[in-house]
Amino acid sequence: MTLLMIVLGVAVAGSVVAIVALLGPVTRQMTSDVKNLPPDQRAEAVTATRTMLMQVGSLVTAALSLAGLVGTFYFSSQTVSLETEKQLQARYDKALKDLRSSDSSARVQGLYELEDVAHDAPAFAWKATLSIAAYLQDRARGQATPRPHLTVEAALTVLGRRDHSSDRGPVATGPVAADGVTLRSADLSGVDLRGIDFKDAVLPRARFTDADLRTADFTGADLRQADFTGAKLDGAVFRDAQTDGAVGLPRTPAKPRAS
């Protein structure tokens, strides 16, 4: 605001100085050669000169005013931009703090706030994705928290709804326990989910294209119409899973008929 006032002050002062100079020293300088004219002609010449200089002064004043308006707009927009960024950073920091809470509801709220920040400011999207992935990695390392499945489900839901175009590298969750979670139509394409426990999970129409699912456990999971195209499935377990309409899964050899 101080810098803005300086800019406006300079514009006003410049206008005043320009007008005073035009009506005083500049006029006298330009009419110095009419001193020998008769009084009426000399007065007419001075008046004409001042009229012309006033027009020039008006143009100068208009230019300085325009410069002041441009400066006002620029500094105002910069102030708004900085304030918005500060608010987004505060929201992001608050979400990270919530993720460290012992209250599962606060952790869930933090996960969804990260999603909102990423939606409102794409510049924060990749940071939010990495923070969520790091949270899941902590769960995979056995960090004790109350009701872990509630927050694991929320974290995977947010990852499954993220804007993939914001990804700047691999996203890895670690072998987190996600048994029994419900993720309908989640898009976990390209995510490193090695060793994840999806036993009895409800995952209809989920997308796992190009995901790393080596040694993942889908025992008893609902995988109807899920897409595993291009996924790494070495060692993955699909025992008793519902796979009607799923694509990209290895074909199970037909059992020989009894003779």
Cα–Cα distance, 222 to 203 (Å, whole number) = 5
Per-block mean pLDDT, blocks of 10 residues, the chain (259 long): 51 53 51 57 58 64 62 50 89 96 95 96 96 95 76 97 95 96 96 97 97 98 98 97 96 50
pLDDT of residue 212: 98
pLDDT of residue 257: 47
The Cβ-side half-sphere exposure at 127, using a 13 Å CA radius, reads 17
Query: 0.85 exceeded by the pTM?
Result: no
pLDDT of residue 147: 72
Nearest Cα residue to 162 out of 140, 186, 181, 138: 186
pLDDT of residue 70: 58
Cα–Cα distance, 205 to 237 (Å, whole number) = 18
Site of tokens 């002062």: 13
Nearest Cα residue to 22 out of 57, 46, 59, 60: 57
The counts of H helices and E strands in the chain are 6, 0
pLDDT of residue 31: 47
